[in-house]
Homo-oligomer: A and B are copies of this chain.
């Protein structure tokens, strides 16, 4: 309701609040997307992040925390913590790297494999749904490319 809104705002604040902040807009979109995928995955007991980590453990020849963080473009500490619940729940095991004691090599347990397979099915449902409703090669691809290029130019992460 526009009656909620005050009148005396600087142009900058108005811009920030009217959905024109790139950062806030993407964050909102991200929250929504996560809720959508998480809802689809909830019955399998996984979140989209956890599914992705399981997938990376399977997809990498020698999965380590650092490598997963690199591929997911997130902080190493965040990846480290994200993996913890999966280890706790017996979906992932970790063993010291034979030749580099700094590293822990991760692996899926049989249960982890099963959960990943199940989760991938649920994921596909959400993915196909979004795909069907988004303009093909529409905003997302363009936008992601822009963000990545921008981040690279500014050495973000």
Contacts and interface: CB of A to CB of B under 8 A. Distances in A.
Interface of A: 3-6, 9-10, 12-17, 19, 21-37, 39, 48-49, 51-52, 55-56, 58-62, 67, 71-74, 116, 120-121, 123-124, 126-127, 129-131, 133-135, 138-151, 153-154, 156-157
* Majority SS at the chain A contact face: helix
A72 B32 CA distance: 12
Nearest to A3: B61
B59 A17 contact: yes
A32 to B, nearest CB: 5
A26 B29 contact: yes
Contact of A9 (B31, B59, B73): B59
